[in-house]
Structure 1
């Protein structure tokens, strides 16, 4: 089939690689424009952009798909369909109507649970035991279209947003060849989403990243795992020259009692509103993440300290 691909991050690049390897004609790749990043503020292409160039594919980086010229240019491609994965723009109805077979989107949750921008993080933060990846037919609503193909993925107690992201990325990418082959045969059944049970995975705010020790230990541990490695749940580590921001990247709930924020032993067991969490992987601002034993060398946090 002739298709356009729309995506931006690593999560999307894996899907583009699988689609191209399956032999479909990718007539154009759309991705977000290069942005200036890093200390030197050098302009960096997105992972999808870089991969598309390696594959010799035509790449366009429009600022907005609502631009009439962008829409006209897209229509001129006359694609059979568009495959969309974490593109970063909401497509207007005029764009959704262009491909003969419509626009298909890969989403990292079991819809209608966790529609929106941050489904991987929200699933872990909520303590979900299962999530998944689904390919759906796109429509004007936010992740409301009928489901075409679905795979369920377990969330393990040791999962972080990073580890779950990688598993979902691989699973989702491998679904595209099956979905496109079934679509060509006319055997892909569209199943409407349930009318109830919808939840929304809003973008993670800066305020949510700070650890609130007054929450139950399970909630705190899930927050830490759900925000690891980015943006990272953080707290202030007391120091002689003022508090230092430290990110917690891994934690587990344990038994323990005390004032919320009270350090209960010399191994980073911190009292919460209910129970306690043991921090097992941390990162000082501007430094690399490391296991707790290594982190504590030269940075003791003795029992009895109270974290704010």
Structure 2
């Protein structure tokens, strides 16, 4: 019988190993530490990625999860691998077994867990995944939800198996994606939601594991890892797509374009106004105003050729292109500037042309 907070033999605490690396995971770790008494659990060890060089000085820096663990005197393990083909991997597996874990909680750990690790804890490994599975399996679910224009996302607590985010779902909780959400703001919302979700599941692990639901693989989408080149804006895309790109790639890798061969970062824009259209070529700066810089984009994907009746005959016309209202940008070597600051300067003028490369 699986343990619950109200029904656990001899009131023995559930031995928990936590595996995670970035701030997203650290939020859940903090919640579990604070709830150890209420959940009747003991966090016996924390696994995280090895310290990495960071910053201009390239000094070794501990992960957000490691910092939380050390602050609470929890043992920290940082293996490079769990592969049984290497002596280091076999040693890491033995160390994990020595903690006698009942369950392992995994959140953005960054290291592949082979089946030998997944089956080490008595009740397996649970993953805190930032999407409503099976939508957006993979490395960048928060960003991909924004880029795709999803109206909602959420957290799935999943029983891990050997596949990539393919395990049975124990618990799902959704949240709306607001019009002004960026990858940064949505990350913070999902981190808090993930912490709440894993606490909920651990309150009655037996119930949630008994009610686990298999994923429908036919509905799965893969959230590929982001690459820097995804930030380059193609102005022939619609304003809607570009606006999502800006929000979905903030803060990294960031959306950017080129002006006279110099890179310009596009930091923020307003929601797209369908009534603002233009016949200017894509990438043209239509106006530099105090509230926003208006730029011509491509046609919206759902805008089709229209037919109008003139003097008893029907003629077709192509609708105007969409526009994007940029509120903040950053020129190469400069600081972020608002539209009002740019309006008072001379770095950008009506009729300037943003391009898709530095040539």
Same-fold status (TM-score > 0.5): yes
1:253 aligns with 2:272: yes
Aligned to 2:316: none
1:72 to 80, 83, 94: 94
How many angstroms does 1:298 deviate by? 2.7
After TM superposition, the structure 1 = structure 2 runs for residues 45-194 of structure 1, keeping only pairs within 5 Å, are 45-66=62-83, 67-183=89-205, 189-194=211-216
1:273 aligns with 2:303: no
For residues 236 and 296 of structure 1, do their structure 2 counterparts lie closer, same or farther at Cα, with a shift above 3 Å needed? Answer: farther
1:31 aligns with 2:31: no
CA deviation profile, 1:238-296 (whole Å, cap 9, x unmatched):
4xxxx332221222323222211011111321111110111112234455544332354
For residues 29 and 259 of structure 1, do their structure 2 counterparts lie closer, same or farther at Cα, with a shift above 3 Å needed? Answer: same
Give the Cα separation in 1 of the matches to 2:100 and 2:119.
11
Q: Is residue 27–residue 195 contact of structure 2 (8 Å, CA) maintained in 1?
A: yes
CA deviation profile, 1:147-193 (whole Å, cap 9, x unmatched):
11111010011111111111111111111221111105677520111
Give the Cα separation in 2 of the matches to 1:186 and 1:222.
35
Task: State the aligned residue count.
Answer: 304
Identify the range of structure 1 (212-221 vs 245-254) with the bigger mean alpha-carbon deviation.
245-254
How many angstroms does 1:37 deviate by? 1.1
1:298 aligns with 2:345: yes
Aligned to 2:253, what secondary structure does the other structure show?
A: coil
Aligned to 2:286, what secondary structure does the other structure show?
A: coil
Structure 2, gaps ≥5 residues long: 1-13, 84-88, 300-321
For residues 29 and 271 of structure 1, do their structure 2 counterparts lie closer, same or farther at Cα, with a shift above 3 Å needed? Answer: same
Give the Cα separation in 2 of the matches to 1:39 and 1:141.
37
How many angstroms does 1:299 deviate by? 4.6
